[in-house]
């Protein structure tokens, strides 16, 4: 028999309780950040565009979580994390970001038009225009983003972008941003690309042979939801600072109320803290009044 790992018993708040705090954040920032654009500061439109996409993604996370699609929640959490890093990178390099975003759009415009005209267009379909400036600058665009546009529009890898914004992203302790990248975002990446860790979750061996698990699964749901919430809340803080500073205290308050509810705490950790000790989730409450009450 191969060795088996038996995970410790855990305690976590009911899904509906966890989702309630996530919905409160989503609804609050949607109301706070809406409305017409003021005079555009450098990078303002780009940051708001990142937030607008992230708001839809976070809504998708909550819908999937309601139906217990844990793997898919984790996949979308990756997009939220990387979008948050991008937003802080834009805020730090606003002029450069606008220039690179424009150049990346031009390369995409060129590549899409060429592919459509050569491969996808049928008789009677219109020919997509090829802009002379894009053709002229093809070599420069390829040097920035790769010949087929496979690099990120900033021209930098995610670890490099994280290193550049590390001091700007609010963190509970030094190194938290890199820890999220190395732990939760790594898992999200494995789920997205159907790595062995994701595939193995779907097939288990039993006394009557292998069993395939299709459809919803709460596997990875707790981690994915926590990672999504952490990322989206940090993005909302940045948008609040630039658009509605008065909204920041409420966003921070919602985080304090919700974050502890998203933690999964092992029973051994609760026993070590004791019923009257502080709960390891960081809520500040006694164990018996927090995860210990579950």
Write the secondary structure of the chain as one string of H (helix), E (strand) and C (coil): CCCCCCCCCEECCCHHHHHHHHHHHHHHHHHHHCCCCCCCCCCHHHHHHHHHHHHHHHHHHHHHHHCCEHHHHHHHHHHHHHHHHHHHHHHHCHHHHHHHHHHHHHHHHHHHHHHHHHHHCCCCCCCCCCCHHHHHCHHHHHHHHCCCCCCCCCCCCHHHHHHHHCCCCCCCCCCHHHHHHHCHHHHHHHHHCCCHHHHHCCEEEECCEEEECCCCECCCHHHHHHHHHHHHHHHHHHHHHHHCHHHHHHHHHHHHHHHHHHCCEEHHHHHHHCCCCECCCCCCCEHHHCHHHC
* Per-residue model confidence (pLDDT) at position 285: 87
d(CA 269, CA 10): 9
User: What average pLDDT does the structure give for the chain?
Assistant: 92
Residue 4 has pLDDT above 70, yes or no: no
> Where residue 197 falls among pLDDT bands split at 50, 70, 90?
confident
Q: Give me the pLDDT at residue 200, please.
A: 80
Which pLDDT score is estimated for 41? 66
**pLDDT at residue 24, as a whole number:** 97
The number of residues making up the chain comes to 294
Euclidean distance between CA atoms 265 and 280, whole angstroms = 7
Contact 7, 287 (CB under 8 A): no
Tokens of 54: 């992230």
Of the candidate ranges 17-26, 126-135, 195-204, the one whose mean pLDDT is the lowest? 195-204
Residue pLDDT, tens place only, 235-294: 999 999 999 999 999 999 999 999 999 998 888 888 888 888 899 888 888 888 899 887
pLDDT digit string (tens) for 106-149?
999 999 999 999 999 999 999 999 999 999 999 999 999 999 99
Share of the chain above pLDDT 90, in %: 70
Per-residue pLDDT of 83-117, as tens digits, reads 999 999 999 999 999 999 999 999 999 999 999 99
pLDDT of residue 5: 65
What is the pLDDT, as a whole number, of residue 164? 97
Q: Is the pLDDT of residue 6 over 80?
A: no
What is the pLDDT, as a whole number, of residue 63? 98
The pair phi, psi for residue 246, each rounded to 5°, is -65, -15
Q: Which residues contact 280 (CB under 8 A, 6 or more apart)?
A: 263, 265, 269, 270, 273, 287, 291
Q: Is the pLDDT of residue 2 over 80?
A: no
- Confidence tier at 37 by pLDDT (50, 70, 90): low
Query: Which pLDDT belongs to residue 229?
Result: 98
Which residues, at least 6 apart from 57, have a Cβ–Cβ distance to it below 8 Å? Answer: 76, 79, 80, 83
Q: Can you name the residues that pair with 229 across neighbouring β-strands?
A: none
pLDDT at 181 exceeding the cut of 80: yes
């Amino acid at each position: 028999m191969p060795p088996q790992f038996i995970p410790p018993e855990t305690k976590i708040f009911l899904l509906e309780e966890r989702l309630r705090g996530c919905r409160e954040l989503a609804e609050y920032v949607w109301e706070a950040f809406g409305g017409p654009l003021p005079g555009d500061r450098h990078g303002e439109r780009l940051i708001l565009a990142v937030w607008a996409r992230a708001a839809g993604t976070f809504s998708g996370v909550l819908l999937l979580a309601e139906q217990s699609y844990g793997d898919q929640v984790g996949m979308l959490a990756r997009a939220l994390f990387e979008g948050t890093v991008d937003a802080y990178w834009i805020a730090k390099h606003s002029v450069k970001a606008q220039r690179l975003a424009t150049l990346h759009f031009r390369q995409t415009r060129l590549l899409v038009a060429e592919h459509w005209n050569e491969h996808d267009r049928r008789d009677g379909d219109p020919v997509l225009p090829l802009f002379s400036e894009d053709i002229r600058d093809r070599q420069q665009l390829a040097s920035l983003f790769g010949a087929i546009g496979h690099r990120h529009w900033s021209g930098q890898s995610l670890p490099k972008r994280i290193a550049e914004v590390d001091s700007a992203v609010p963190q509970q302790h030094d190194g938290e941003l890199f820890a999220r990248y190395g732990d939760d975002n790594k898992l999200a990446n494995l789920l997205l690309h159907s790595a062995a860790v994701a595939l193995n979750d779907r097939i288990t061996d039993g006394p009557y042979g292998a069993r395939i698990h299709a459809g919803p699964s709460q596997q990875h749901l707790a981690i994915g939801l926590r990672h999504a919430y952490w990322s989206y809340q940090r993005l909302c803080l940045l948008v609040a600072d630039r658009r509605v500073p008065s909204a920041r205290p409420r966003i921070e308050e919602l985080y304090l109320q919700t974050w502890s509810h998203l933690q999964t705490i092992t029973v051994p950790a609760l026993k070590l803290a004791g019923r009257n000790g502080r709960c390891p989730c960081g809520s500040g409450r006694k164990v018996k009044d927090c995860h210990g009450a579950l």
